[in-house]
Amino acid sequence: MTATNSVGSETVELPPRLYLDTQFCFAYIVESDRDHEHAAEFALVLKQLAATKLITCYFSVLAVDELAWKLGGFIYDRDNGQASWHALRPTEKTAGFLSVKTEVADCISSFMDEPWISVLRVSDAAYARICTFMRAHDLRPADLCHLTLAHAADAGLLSNDGDFRRLASSPVEIVNY
């Protein structure tokens, strides 16, 4: 499948299935994120392709978990001052999150309700691959799980996360936006 990216006249080859990493989701949702403009422009292409059934974009429960914490920190900082979230002791993070959880839930709910977003379902057998990928790739555990989920869905992984770009031999196509 070929899609014309709305940034310039660049043509981008996209797989028919695409797993949305947390980094992309956060950039798409948060207007002040440094990648927001690119994520929003790329999402327009994805929305058009999804509407014509040329691509399916997946979102996982792992992305929900990571996104909730990232949005929680972002909103907490917005309400309490820059770096307030980072200054919280680990025992205070839960209370900090609880203070913003309704807004976080509203953001995530709005995102998941978009018609171009599909919930990823994987078989139980997919989980065994996490340890295989852990032995083969130098990634944080959550990124290994994202890689595994994309692989299980036979999907490319959409992210501007430098850790994915640095993979020498990824078992899935890494799509930057």
Whether 6 shows a pLDDT value over 60: the answer reads no
Whether 69 shows a pLDDT value over 50: the answer reads yes
Tens-digit pLDDT profile for residues 74-116: 999 999 999 999 999 999 999 999 999 999 999 999 999 999 9
Mean pLDDT of the residues in the chain: 93
CA–CA dist 110, 141 (Å, integer): 27
Helix (H) or strand (E) holding 43: helix 36-51
Tens-digit pLDDT profile for residues 129-140: 999 999 999 999
Indicate the domain borders of the chain: 16-175
Q: Read off the pLDDT of each residue in 37-58 and give the average, rounded to a whole number.
A: 98
- Check the CA dihedral 21-19-173-34 and report its sign: negative
pTM here? 0.92
| pLDDT given for residue 168 in this prediction | 86
CATH no. for 16-175:
3.40.50.1010
CA–CA dist 171, 137 (Å, integer): 10
